[in-house]
């Protein structure tokens, strides 16, 4: 592994580690060169890594839970998601963020057909299947079939909408609030909201903690 020296800018090259992949070695060499040229510092990189590591689906779950309990916030989120999440001190780096809401008659699912664009600030690191060619190619032509493979069976009358993310546009799904949660606190509700439900390949958990299908 490559351990960052938090007390100095001097880095040993990751390329010297035989266990790392070609791309990891290449990234390490570029990192070392940028530090050598004074364009970045080891501390800059360390702090950036810490920010990336702090991004988890709990951030997006906080947003969804607030939308569930606060109708005014929900309205603002649907109208301008980037501005709405900024109210919670969440800064989205992509130029545009759109929140799409699942309802009784509409189910939304997110994909990036070109690569793996994804709202990491809200959902944390993207899962491997999201980046796979199979998911990216199939969900746009057979969304119901793909969702079925995730264990999500939708009634025929439910309209499925697929949203294609780009470098300029990211999406987050607001899953339907489960029945029987009327008296739960915002914090308790957030525990029911998973990464997959905010991508759209699952529903939010039931109060008992089991995934609906």
Per domain, the residue ranges of the chain are: 14-53, 57-199
Residue 149 is predicted with a pLDDT of 96
Residue 27 is predicted with a pLDDT of 72
Q: Long-range contacts made by residues 71-76, C-beta under 8 angstroms, separation at least 24?
A: 74/101, 74/174
- Beta bridge partners of residue 101, listed in sequence order: 174
How many Å apart are CA 197 and CA 100, to the nearest integer? 12
| Confidence category of residue 208, pLDDT binned at 50, 70, 90 | confident
This model's pTM is above 0.85: no
Q: Which of 115, 132, 185, 213 is catalytic?
A: 115
Please say if the pLDDT value at position 11 is more than 50.
Answer: no
Residue 150 is predicted with a pLDDT of 96
Please say if the pLDDT value at position 7 is more than 60.
Answer: no
Q: Which of 12, 54, 94, 112 is catalytic?
A: 112
- pLDDT above 70 covers a percentage of the chain that reads 82
Establish whether 197 is a catalytic residue.
Answer: no
Rounded mean pLDDT of the chain?
85
Higher pLDDT, 105 or 53: 105
Establish whether 117 is a catalytic residue.
Answer: yes
Q: Which CATH architecture has domain 57-199?
A: Alpha-Beta Complex (3.90)
How many Å apart are CA 119 and CA 103, to the nearest integer? 22
Q: Across residues 105-133, what is the average pLDDT?
A: 94
Please say if the pLDDT value at position 12 is more than 80.
Answer: no
Contact (CB, 8 A) for 65 and 181 = no
């Amino acid at each position: 592994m490559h351990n960052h020296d938090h007390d100095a800018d001097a880095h040993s090259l990751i390329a010297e580690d035989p266990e790392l992949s070609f791309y990891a070695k290449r990234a390490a060499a570029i990192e070392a060169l940028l530090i050598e040229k004074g364009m970045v510092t080891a501390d800059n990189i360390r702090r950036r890594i810490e920010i990336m590591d702090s991004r988890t689906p709990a951030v997006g779950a906080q947003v969804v839970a607030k939308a569930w309990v606060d109708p005014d916030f929900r309205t603002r989120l649907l109208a301008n998601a980037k501005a709405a999440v900024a109210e919670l001190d969440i800064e989205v780096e992509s130029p545009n963020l759109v929140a799409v809401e699942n309802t009784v008659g509409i189910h939304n699912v997110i994909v990036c057909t070109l690569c793996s664009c994804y709202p990491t600030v809200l959902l944390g690191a993207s899962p491997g299947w999201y980046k796979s060619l199979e998911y990216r190619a199939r969900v746009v032509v057979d969304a119901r079939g793909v969702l079925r493979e995730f264990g999500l069976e939708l009634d025929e009358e439910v309209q499925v909408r697929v949203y294609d993310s780009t470098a300029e546009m990211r999406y987050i799904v607001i899953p339907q609030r489960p029945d029987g949660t009327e008296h739960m606190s915002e914090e308790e509700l957030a525990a029911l909201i998973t990464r997959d439900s905010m991508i759209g390949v699952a529903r939010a958990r039931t109060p008992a903690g089991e995934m609906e299908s």
